[in-house]
Amino acid sequence: MPEIKGPRMFDGELMRKLGINQKVKQVNENSSVIYGSSYSKTEINKLLRIIDEQDAINRYLWINIACDLTSQELERLLYYKGSLIFFYCEPLNKFLVTPYALDGSIDFYARYNYVKPVPFASGKDSDREDDLRDKTQAAILSTMRLKVIKEVVLPEELTYELLTGSAVIIRDYTNQLSQTNIARSILNDELISMMSDCFPLLETNLIMGSGILGVKVDSSDEKDEVKAMAQAVYNAALNKNPYVAMTALKDPKELVGGTRNKPEDYLLAFQSLDNFRLSTYGIANGGVYEKKAHTLESENAINYSTVMSSYEDGLKQRQNSCDIINSIWGLNIWCDASEASLGVDRDGDGFVLDEEKGEAPVSGANEKEGDLE
């Protein structure tokens, strides 16, 4: 008895990446896999997003964080939210850092008076027992209303309500008109999109330099034959094969003309955009336009001064929040400059690397942790 086979199933995602239309089972004309690399703008954009996030979250080093977050995790929250709140949750008996929303009025300077915690990202509901704690925590935080503390608190001003019902805002950079800053992940979207255009345009420019010809055909069969010929030529070029066998076709006509940009022009444009991106973080770079031959020392000094003002702004915002936090709860939290972003071996260990250990300098805080009980 012959073996009964089930229906042959195709991986839809794989077929889409290969440029195959699942309805008509033909190769899409606009598919990049036919004439060039499948590493398209979308994939390059994802890669640049990871690089941008890594640059952002490693600019500063948080020390003695009282909650269950690493320095990179806290900076990641700032990267995607723009600002956060630090507070003590008495029912959970733990310090938390979360995004927030306005819960009440604003003061004369448009600063929030009261806020409420909100989750970083909403997930899918589940009935598993191990999700019970997260549901309980979300239910507790949803009922909290916290007073925003905007300056260092003196010891004689501390009260039980202040310890258990207040929050301190941590900002990525100085406020604009609104109290809530726009997240870096949103601000850099368009810049990353422009950067991701450079490599596909470079590849297109290189392909155009090899000669693009148009062939007039009389039927769809001949059209498919031209596509096969184009793919054969592309594969032969990659394999350093100077000869390609093909059937006779009508005389081809050139589709493009005029002068083309040099490949280095696209790379220089990418470098300038990347330098501008780094300058928004206050990380040293070669400037918006770096000379091919050399850069004058005076230009380097101007670039360094510009990026340091941005870097110092973010550092001051974080350290100011640490001062207020330490004055309320008697902690020793601190945010310092990262060795990796400055390119300086500050601790003299011979490596330009950051280690999440050590004690923070006492600034407006008690030397030992406060007792809230």
pLDDT digit string, tens, across residues 172-219: 999 887 777 889 999 999 999 999 988 888 887 777 676 666 677 777
Model pLDDT, residue 173: 93
Q: Is residue 265 part of a domain?
A: no
Count of the separate structural domains present in the chain: 1
Domain that holds residue 277: 60-195+271-373
Q: Is residue 365 part of a domain?
A: yes
Say which DSSP state 286 is in: S
- Assign residue 288 the CATH number of its domain: 2.40.500.10
DSSP β-bridge partners for residue 253? 214
Q: Is residue 37 part of a domain?
A: no
pLDDT digit string, tens, across residues 250-302: 555 544 455 667 888 888 889 889 988 988 888 877 666 655 445 555 555 55
Q: Is residue 209 part of a domain?
A: no
Q: Is residue 1 part of a domain?
A: no
Q: Is residue 305 part of a domain?
A: yes
Q: Residue 33, Cβ neighbours under 10 Å: how many?
A: 15
Model pLDDT, residue 206: 78
DSSP for 121-149 reads S-------GGGHHHHHHHHHHHT--EEEP
Closest CA to 364 of 148, 149, 123: 149
Q: Quote the CA–CA distance of 52 and 48 in Å, as a whole number.
A: 6
Q: Is residue 121 part of a domain?
A: yes
pLDDT digit string, tens, across residues 31-60: 444 444 445 788 889 999 999 999 999 999
Model pLDDT, residue 162: 93
Model pLDDT, residue 95: 95
- Token code pair at residue 50: 């990871």
CB 373 within 8 A of CB 88: no
